[in-house]
Amino acid sequence: MRIILNSVATGLTFVLLAFLPLGATAEINLLSNDRLFEAVKANDINEAEDMLLRKHDVDVRDENRRTVLFFAAIQGNEDFVELLLRFNPKIGALDKFGSSPIYYAAAANHVGVIEMLAEKDGDLDQQNRQGLTPLMVAASEGHLSAVQILIELKADTAMTDFTGRTAYDWAVRNKRRVVIRYLKSAGLGS
């Protein structure tokens, strides 16, 4: 039984490696997850850097099509984001929901991460499958700092989601008074 399991695991590993970009590798524990994901989740920046220096695929994805950059952005871990950016990840990668790393940074009010990703040409106006942009989600959640930096970085304030709502409309819908006042004072609301 053990021989069969090992040969199946080896065959599966070869199949997985066939889908990686030429020259990139991934270290996969078939019973759990990719080791780079584990390093990010454990906040082990030294392990992650070591793996990336050994040509680990920086754009390896999980079952939701998220790369490790997504997890660093969600956590607001600027050190990890900085490390990953050194290895040229796909900034515009989208998960299975159509959301980008900037979207998740905005949803969690991680201003430093938003700035870092925008500096590397991250799309501030990328709409997810619901039509929401990073500015809309930041306004919806009441994250004034994220709203301010996104507007400063020239996010489109007039953009609408698939139901016709703007970032201002989302702030009003969720009663985010501080964001509403800010947007009104900036001439961006009714």
> How many residues in total does the chain contain?
190
Torsion sign, CA atoms 143, 145, 150, 156: positive
At the second CATH level, the architecture of 23-185 is: Alpha Horseshoe (1.25)
pLDDT digit string (tens) for the chain, length 190 residues = 444 444 444 443 333 434 444 444 444 433 346 888 889 888 899 999 999 999 999 999 999 999 999 999 999 999 999 999 999 999 889 999 999 999 999 999 999 999 999 999 878 999 999 999 999 999 999 999 999 999 999 999 999 999 999 999 999 999 999 999 999 998 887 6
For residue 154, what are its two tokens?
Answer: 């020239």
Residue 33's pLDDT is what? 66
Q: What are the backbone angles phi and psi of residue 123, rounded to the nearest 5°?
A: -80, 110
**What is the reported pTM?**
0.80
Residue 104's pLDDT is what? 96
